[in-house]
Amino acid sequence: MLIEIPQLLNDAFVQKILSVLEGARFVDGKLTAGMAAAQVKRNEELAVDPDKLQLLYRILMTALGHDSTFKSAALPNKVADFIFARYQAGMRYGDHVDDPVMGGSGPRFRSDVSMTVFLSAPDSYDGGELVIRTSFGDKQVKLNAGDAVIYPSSSLHHVAEVTRGERLVAVTWIQSLVRDPAQRELLHDLDLAREHLLRTAPGESHTQRIDRSYANLLRCWAEV
């Protein structure tokens, strides 16, 4: 399941993040790549700076905490610290699958859902599409600044070469309460129907049945 989340970050949040990143030091992105990914990774990432990172994390985690689409689709249990990546002309990230287990220097967690938050306006750079291989073919994603996309971490994907300008993104990984992507998709669809019925027909018996079914399926499948 690939889901775009428009305006995860409002304009004020985007501008705040960009002001923090302006003039910041970036290092070779291979430093955080696994053995296979390091062979195809050509980007830069924000160097460790505790003060800057804590401010950036706080902005993004606040946005995630208030976004109903993210919570419904990802069913987050654990969310990794964001990585801030920069792609300048000539940089790309070849085909790869995200590491299944992350958190080498701290608590370890399973990566179920990958997230990219776009920070650069799409007309400010050429290329740089996030290309995700799906059962229906390749899906190219290049969104407005502040928009995000989530997709299964098991998906083969790459970032196309940037040929002009600069692509800035924030990326993270989520361990979901429900590890199976098909089950997460079913729960998300059911939750959308449930939320609609709770707003439009809260007292109806069919609304209560849908609400109960969602809760009990989540109870069956959730891992905590």
Q: How confident is the model at residue 103 (pLDDT cuts 50, 70, 90)?
A: confident
**Amino acid found at 135:** S
Alpha carbons within 13 A on the beta-carbon side of 87? 30
Co-location of 40 and 23 in the same domain:
yes
Q: Tell me what pLDDT residue 142 has.
A: 98
- Alpha-carbon distance values, 213 to 65, 70, 116, 167 (Å): 25, 21, 31, 43
- Bigger pLDDT: 107 or 86? 86
Co-location of 43 and 80 in the same domain:
yes
Co-location of 100 and 122 in the same domain:
yes
> Per residue in 57-71, pLDDT tens?
999 999 999 999 999
Tokens for 201?
Answer: 């027909």
207 is in which domain, residue-wise?
181-221
Co-location of 134 and 186 in the same domain:
no
CATH number at 46 reads 2.60.120.620
CB 152 within 8 A of CB 123: no
Co-location of 185 and 86 in the same domain:
no
Q: Tell me what pLDDT residue 65 has.
A: 96
Q: Tell me what pLDDT residue 173 has.
A: 97
- Mean pLDDT to the nearest integer, 108-134: 97
At a CB cut-off of 8 Å and minimum separation 6, what does 132 contact?
2, 138, 139, 141, 151, 155, 156, 157
- Mean pLDDT to the nearest integer, 4-27: 96
CB 111 within 8 A of CB 102: yes
Tokens for 166?
Answer: 């600069």
Q: Tell me what pLDDT residue 31 has.
A: 77
Number of structural domains the chain divides into: 2
**Domain boundary residue, one of 140, 159, 176:** 176
Instruction: Tell whether the model's pLDDT for residue 34 goes beyond 80.
Output: no
Co-location of 131 and 118 in the same domain:
yes
- Bigger pLDDT: 30 or 173? 173
- Mean pLDDT to the nearest integer, 158-185: 98
pTM check: above 0.75: yes
Co-location of 68 and 106 in the same domain:
yes
Co-location of 117 and 168 in the same domain:
yes
Co-location of 137 and 215 in the same domain:
no
Q: Which of 136, 34, 120 is nearest to 128 (CA)?
A: 120
